[in-house]
Amino acid sequence: MELPKGRGLTGRADVSVRPAAAADAEAIARVQVVTWRTAYRSLLPAQVLDEWDDDAATTTWRTAVAAPPTSEHGVLVAVESGTVVGFAAYGPTDDPDVADLATLLVEPRWGRRGHGSRLLAAVADLATERRVRSLHTWVPEDDLATGRFLGSAGWATDGWTRTLDTGAAPLSQLRWTTRLDDDEHDEERAAP
């Protein structure tokens, strides 16, 4: 898969966003656990974070990258100086006009360097290529940092909420949405 030549690509030689490879699975699992343990310590049960199974997580991510359920599913990685520092996973929804940003995480020590923005832009570029009109994602209600990040990128909550059973306290999530299309895109859709 080739990333579109748009806003998802970077200008610095030592940072990039690219499609994940099976060999990235261990690094993706590392980014996930470090980020969850740092950012979600108060949101997720301690047992989930403390009893993390590195091998199971790596296997799950290797499968997601090497054998995605459809061609519309994908995983991108953010890389700085050869190190995977973040990732985003995306896929289709039941509505062909909407795609799901399943997760976007950047390891905290690599934060505030534009990796999240590059990942978000690359997912949007790939979705736009597929003529998807909007993206959505679910974010824990108490994850204010992610909410600020998405809001600064033009996303907004759309009023939908859900509650997940974590095995401890319920986890309330808000759905965040952004539109990808514009008038020109609408005209392209209407063209015969």
Strand-pair partners of 140: 173
183 in a structural domain: no
User: What was the pLDDT predicted at 1?
Assistant: 46
Please indicate, yes or no, if residue 86 is contained in any of the structural domains: yes
- pLDDT at residue 159, as a whole number: 94
Q: Is 108 exposed, middle or buried (0-12, 13-18, 19+ CB in 10 A)?
A: middle
Neighbours of 37 (CB within 10 A): 16
Q: What is the pTM (predicted TM-score) of this model?
A: 0.85
In a domain, 163, yes or no: no
- Residue 54 vs residues 57, 65, 109, 110: alpha-carbon distances, Å: 5, 16, 20, 21
> Is 173 part of a structural domain of the chain?
no
DSSP state of 70: S
Q: What is the pLDDT of residue 2?
A: 45
Which residue stretches of the chain have pLDDT < 70? Answer: 1-13, 182-192
The bridge status of strand 134-140 relative to strand 171-179 is antiparallel
Query: What pLDDT was estimated at residue 183?
Result: 47
Domain range enclosing 31 = 15-136
d(CA 65, CA 22): 6
What whole-number distance in Å separates Cα of residue 52 and Cα of residue 2? 33
* pLDDT for the residue numbered 190: 47
Residue 62 lies in a domain: yes
CA–CA separation, 135 vs 127, rounded Å? Answer: 8
Cα(136)–Cα(99) distance, integer angstroms: 7
Contacts of 170-174 spanning 24+ positions with Cβ under 8 A: 171/43, 171/44, 171/140, 172/140, 172/141, 172/142, 173/138, 173/139, 173/140, 173/141, 174/138, 174/139, 174/141, 174/147
Q: Is residue 153 part of a domain?
A: no
The DSSP 8-state label assigned to residue 147 in this structure reads H
- CATH code for position 51: 3.40.630.30
- In this prediction, residue 113 carries a pLDDT of 72
Domain count for the chain, please give it: 1
DSSP string, 28-51: HHHHHHHHHHHHSTTTS-HHHHHT
